[in-house]
Amino acid sequence: MDLDRADRAILAFLQQDGRLPNVSLAARVNLSESACLRRVRALEERGVIDHYVALLNQSAVGLPDSVVVEVSLTREQQEDLDAFENAVRKLPEVMECYLMSGEYDYLLRVVVANTADYERIHREYITRLPGVARVRSSFALRTVTKRTDLPISQKN
């Protein structure tokens, strides 16, 4: 995708503050307000800007712990993958799910209140997902870095 310097600057600022008023954004990227707004709308229409969200503090909402879960399926046929993926999307505690290469099939990041909460989710949901053969879980002890902004290069 062709992104020029102004597009990259717009994206960098919006990743830091998605509520930045167009007037402020335009001033920061050295464009007129109308040109800046046109570019933002074009980035939205092209799907570069996917959507806007508010990022919440996990601890503040009672979900301080993250668990990384490795899941292996009994079979890797497309219908098995589809069934697992459709079911895992319905679990609100699963924040991320990745189809993996390597020794396990999926990697999940699950948010929980505590170990007892994870035990419940593990017992009632994760082990009952379609096709699950093996689950290996690791509690994150501390978040070292967690980014929400992609490294938009300022080339061009």
**In Å, what is the CA distance from 152 to each residue of 8, 44, 46, 124?**
6, 16, 16, 40
Q: What pLDDT, on a 0 to 100 scale, did the predictor assign at position 155?
A: 58
Task: Name residue, tokens 């062709």.
Answer: 2
DSSP helix/strand/coil, 110: strand
Residue 126 pLDDT > 60: yes
Q: Report the alpha-carbon distance of residue 153 to residue 93 in Å, rounded.
A: 33
Tens digits of per-residue pLDDT, 39-63? 999 999 999 999 999 999 999 999 9
Q: Which CATH number fits domain 5-45: 3.40.50.1950, 3.90.180.10, 1.10.10.10, 1.10.645.10?
A: 1.10.10.10
The answer regarding whether domain 59-139 maps to CATH 3.30.70.920 reads yes
Domain with CATH 1.10.10.10 in the chain: 5-45
Neighbours of 91 (CB within 10 A): 15
